[in-house]
A and B are shown apart, each in its own frame.
Chain A
Amino acid sequence: MTRSAKYLFPALFVALFCGADWLQFRGVNGASLSPDAAPPDSWSETNNVAWKASLPGRGASGPIVVQGRTYVTCSSGVKQDRLHVVCFDNESGDEVWQREFWATGRTLTHPYSAVAAPTPASDGQRIFAFYSSNDLACLDLDGNLLWYRGLAFDYPKAGNDIGMASSPVVVGETVVVQIENQGDSFAAGINTATGETRWRVDRARQANWVSPIALPGEREGRTAVLLQGASGLTAYDSMTGEELWRYDVSCSTTPSVAVSEDHIFIPANGLTVLKLAPDATVPSLVWDSSQLSPSPASPIIVGNRVYTMNNSGVLSCGDVATGERLWQLRVGGRYWSTPVVAGDRMYCINSEGAAKVVQLGDKGEVVSSNEFSEEIKGSPAISEGALYVRSDRHLWKIANGS
């Protein structure tokens, strides 16, 4: 099989079927955005809840959606050393399959977090389930095990007893994991097909919970992944791990970087915005603003507006071009999950399980508040007009007309 033919099937697959999919933490391109979707504004136990399914364990990870099925990771057991991947049918809410593993790395976490903290990722053909224990399982969409890496088994000092939370990202044929901690601190690019390590780079020995993100498109024939560390943002070639450029700035270690067109939004000095160079050189500063500081939720960009939620539940809207703060809205609550935007509505689900729907525009307005009545830490997913939300115990599908 030629190289081009070898890659044709997966590429065709993704192109055909992934339009409605939510393949990773914060969805397509990590944008937390589904521009054409319109989930319901309000719901209750008897209205607009398509189904509610039980989960076998806890999790701060978000659900992902691939080809009409939703995939969720959980951790269970008194030591949280049982790792689960559960697949649900989106129409019925029935469990299609479940796989379970024993953690091979550290499973201590803060009681508020869970070993199933990183959101899984998919390339449209495979599920990459990653955990705080640094176990990385690759399954096909029917639950067949394709490979299994114990990255803390390989590097025993990798771990953080507060819990790790960085979600993997798929860039082409590489799944990238960012494992930054006080012990064996590194990032690695793993071959999606074989599970072999393409590259591994040392990272600062410091706790960090942010997630890597793919830089859309190619520059000089290369695809890149962005890794946000405490002292800067670095772009690496996703196939080789070669450092392409580095921008030094003191970054937050909880909210993650976002990319929109040729701008990069870094949670640093509040919010720092860079403009990408046309080649693979260091981007340039556009603006920074202490008035648009996100924490711990990551920034969201919709057109010429950037939205950030702070840890007091205040939503800020800024101008992408200037960094001017245009308005603020006290949504209320504390947010671990990053909100999602569908059309002109933002769905903000706070830790206590209250889902506030915010109308976005010249100002923000909370148009409804809906209760899940359970703690919610994972970021929701949107697919085909439905909202998927998980707690430690349940997975909900919120859809119109249910």
Chain B
Amino acid sequence: MKQSTMFAAIAASLFAVSFTQPCVAEPVDVDVLAAKLRSVGPKGEGHAAAAQAWQAIAKADADQLPEILAGMQGAGKLSENWFRAAAEAVAQRQLKQGGELPVRALEGFLADTSQAPRARRLAYELIAGVDTSAEARLIPGLLNDPSLELRRDAVALALKNAAAEEEAGEKSAAAETYAKAFAAARELDQIKEASSKLRTFEQQADVPSHMGFVIDWHLIGPFDNTDNKGFDVAYPPEKQIDLAAAYEGKVGKASWKPHRTRDEFGIVDLNEIFERPKDGNDYKLTTEHKGAVGYALSEYETDQPREIEIRIGCINANKIWLNGELLTANQVYHAGMEVDQYVAHGRLRAGTNQVLVKVCQNEQEESWAQRWQFQLRICDELGTAVLAKNRTLSATPAN
């Protein structure tokens, strides 16, 4: 026996002893096993039971794929990955053995919007993996789907179709298709593309309203953030909101000022808004504010209480309160700024709500560390704008 062959034989034996390989399909009790996968929690909680359950569920017959996917209902983010890996293992084994996937049952599962969005997405991917006609057959009907990933594919297809119509000189049809794509789009790149195209047809695309960016603010500052200590200091706006009040700030009296951002993506540039420090002050005269804290307040009116997400993009350290409750605190400076960078969850009450944002700039000297700005939007978990009743600009109808 060649040495390599002998080693391979030993390896195979050792693996046979060490691991249970889910290589033979058999009917399994998916409900019981799925419950164990769903029990996975943070810090390794439920891992041992889930690992055992995974080995068993990965042996399931391919016909049980819809059952496995259904088990994702109520699963957390961690658990979803255990389910995904199990479904993939079952599907790949079936295909390698020359079998077929239960495409019809998977299509039925995909059509059931009460199932977990990621489970439906996975169902689609399993179908599309064996059926090249799946995209054309299934995706167009998913333009307003509760699965963000399926919706994205549908928007992408709509944009592609609109471009084809435009190319063919069918301007009216193209504009209509772009408008549909814009209304359905929930992700930034697609919103940018669709809005840009709509404008070439001289149609309006109210991006701030479509995304739910807050554009009207009351601002106050700067307060002191020397040595980054201001992040933990509760300056007066954190204790009481009084828009008529003035406080001792870092460079003299600070008072609330109304501000409307004209930025399409809601960026509020505090360097441009707060008065520059005076020469001769011990606060060094610079081109940009340094070691400074600013606050932004939005008064948001609504008739109905509801769950919302408050999503902020901010290149500086920041905190967000909703009606006095701290929702998130991010003590990170100059590590990038993106739309939806930090996501906080909150609940609006009927009537007037106060969204207070604290934005802390540090004292770094590098040219790339001079930005002091944020952008904030209010939406649901899909990214659909939740607009205030007192919003002054027109809103784009949102699904």
Contact = CB atoms under 8 A, between A and B. Distances in A.
Interface of A: 9-10, 12-13, 16-17, 67, 78-79, 97-102, 104, 108, 110, 125, 135, 137, 139-150, 153-154, 157, 160-162, 181-183, 194-197, 205, 207
Given A147-B47, A161-B337, A207-B335, 16 more contacts: A9-B17, A12-B14, A13-B14, A99-B85, A99-B88, A101-B81, A102-B80, A108-B341, A110-B336, A135-B81, A145-B51, A147-B51, A148-B82, A157-B330, A194-B44, A195-B44
B338 to A, nearest CB: 5
Main DSSP-derived SS at the B contact region:
helix
B10 to A, nearest CB: 7
A150 B42 contact: yes
Contacts of A205: 331
Nearest to A157: B330
B47 A196 contact: yes
Interface of B: 7, 10-11, 14-15, 17-19, 21-22, 40, 42-44, 47-48, 50-51, 54-55, 58, 77-78, 80-82, 84-86, 88-89, 92, 118, 152, 187, 189, 330-333, 335-338, 341
Q: Which 9 A-B pairs have the closest CB atoms?
A: A161-B336, A145-B85, A182-B332, A101-B81, A154-B42, A104-B77, A161-B335, A196-B44, A154-B43
Contacts of B152: 78
A182 B331 contact: yes
Contacts of A154: 42-43
21 contacts: A13-B11, A13-B14, A17-B11, A79-B187, A100-B88, A104-B77, A110-B336, A140-B19, A142-B21, A145-B81, A147-B50, A150-B42, A153-B78, A154-B42, A157-B330, A161-B332, A161-B335, A182-B333, A196-B44, A196-B47, A205-B331
Contact of A194 (B43, B48, B92): B48
A290 B301 CA distance: 61
Contacts of B47: 147, 194-196
A183 B338 contact: no
B13 to A, nearest CB: 10
A198 to B, nearest CB: 10
Interface centre among A104, A108, A139, A145, by most B CB within 10 Å? A145
A25 B161 CA distance: 44
Contacts of B78: 104, 148, 150, 153
A197 B47 CA distance: 11
Contacts of B338: 108, 161
Nearest to A104: B77
A178 B43 CA distance: 16
B7 A144 contact: no
A174 B339 CA distance: 38
Contacts of A160: 335
A17 B44 contact: no
B332 A144 contact: no
A97 B96 CA distance: 10
Nearest to B78: A150
A10 B11 CA distance: 10
Contacts of B10: 16
A102 B81 contact: yes
Contacts of A148: 40, 78, 81-82, 85
A254 to B, nearest CB: 15
